[in-house]
Amino acid sequence: MFMSISLLVILIGFSLCIGRIHLSLITVGKCLLSSINIIHYHNSLAHEIIFSLRMPRIIAAIIIGAALSLAGTSYQAILQNPLVSPDFLGVSNGAALGAALAIILNLNIWCTQLLAFTIGLLAVLIALVIKKSLKSSKLITLVLSGMIISSFMQACLGLVKYLADPENQLPNIVYWQLGSLEKISWNNLKIYLPIIIIAVTIIFILRWRMNVLSLPDQQTTTIGINRTLETLIIIILATILTACSICLSGPIGWIGLIIPHISRLIIGNNNQKLIPFSIILGSCFLLFIDTIARSISVGEIPLSILTGFIGAPLFIWILIKNRRQL
């Protein structure tokens, strides 16, 4: 755990220095110290780059990486399925549909995020209603309901893209779907950061109960745990984390799938240790990816492209390593 926290601190320093305009570590340190009145140092360009451009992105990368990895870890623990990712209930396609609708209606960034958040949660709510209407207590019913809603939202998204202006609107929809932190600002963070922190805190407190929820129904009843209620609470919290993350950055693939797997290889299956580690590892991963995305070319590379190039080989390696258990 100490090494992962140390890695995160190193990546933060690296990300503050690296970009299209390179800043030395000394300059960054002086700007940070001057901001809290420890020393007097004036460099308006460096100050603007650090506090208006890079710092919001760094914080966003940390919280989104943490949120997606925690959501993936929670879903996989609750459903006892290592192949489940945070968008399995249709929240990603629902949010993408909301954002696409906002773009073709020429709404501003605030309305785009709000509509993405609303329709993303609506997709999950519909999946939960379908499961309840089927009167099935099996979690596989929820997974199938999520797949149905996700496919429907994908079809609606395809229709919206077909109707969008191919010159002005369609490129914006496609770019949003690929994920980026380019438009992150302090104002964005003020809205979603408190929600993410609250959801992360509640799941963190409940993490030991996830171990209990993996036991058979009879044992959880004996212990006095309401399996259905607590499972629903964790699923809702994980969904909120996913929806908030997508609103800030657009869909970013692979983080919620591979980070829990890598964390289990290092820490094990005990959720009390697994969840804190996956939070930090997810933050490190997305911060590293975002730093690369904005540094290696003149134009910014969408995050899902890089996470796909890195995530797919990593997942193949994980499958090979665990082939005896498959």
Residue 12 has pLDDT above 90, yes or no: yes
* pLDDT bracket for residue 325 (50, 70, 90): low
Q: Which amino acid is at 75?
A: Y
Cβ neighbours of residue 213 closer than 8 Å, sequence gap 6 or more: 77, 78, 220, 225, 227, 230, 231, 234
Q: What is the pLDDT of residues 101-141, one digit of tens each?
A: 999 999 888 888 889 999 999 998 998 888 888 877 677 78
Could you tell me the pLDDT band of residue 181, with boundaries at 50, 70 and 90? very high
Query: What rounded mean pLDDT belongs to the chain?
Result: 88
Q: What is the model's pLDDT at position 320?
A: 82
Distance between CA 248 and CA 113 in Å, rounded?
A: 7
E strand or H helix at 251, and its extent? none
pLDDT for residue 222 = 67
* Main-chain dihedrals φ then ψ at residue 114, nearest 5 degrees: -65, -45
Residue 189's SS3 state is: helix
Report d(CA 71, CA 68) in Å as an integer. 5
- Please give the pLDDT value at position 324: 63
CA dihedral 280, 186, 95, 126 (to 10 degrees): 80
Instruction: Kindly list the distances between the CA atom of residue 17 and the CA atoms of 22, 29, 64, 145, 306, in Å, as whole numbers in the listed order.
Output: 6, 10, 21, 46, 21
pLDDT (0 to 100) of residue 221: 64
Confidence of residue 255 (pLDDT cuts 50, 70, 90): very high
> Which CATH architecture fits 2-325?
Orthogonal Bundle (1.10)
Between helix 227-249 and helix 55-79 the angle, nearest 10°, is: 150
Going 246 to 251 to 256 to 259, the CA torsion angle's sign is negative
Please compute the mean of the pLDDT values over residues 293-303 and round it to a whole number: 87
Residue found by looking up tokens 């192949």 in the block: 83
Q: What does pTM read for this prediction?
A: 0.91
Category of 87 on φ-ψ map: left (φ > 0), alpha (ψ -120 to 50) or beta: alpha
Length of the chain: 326
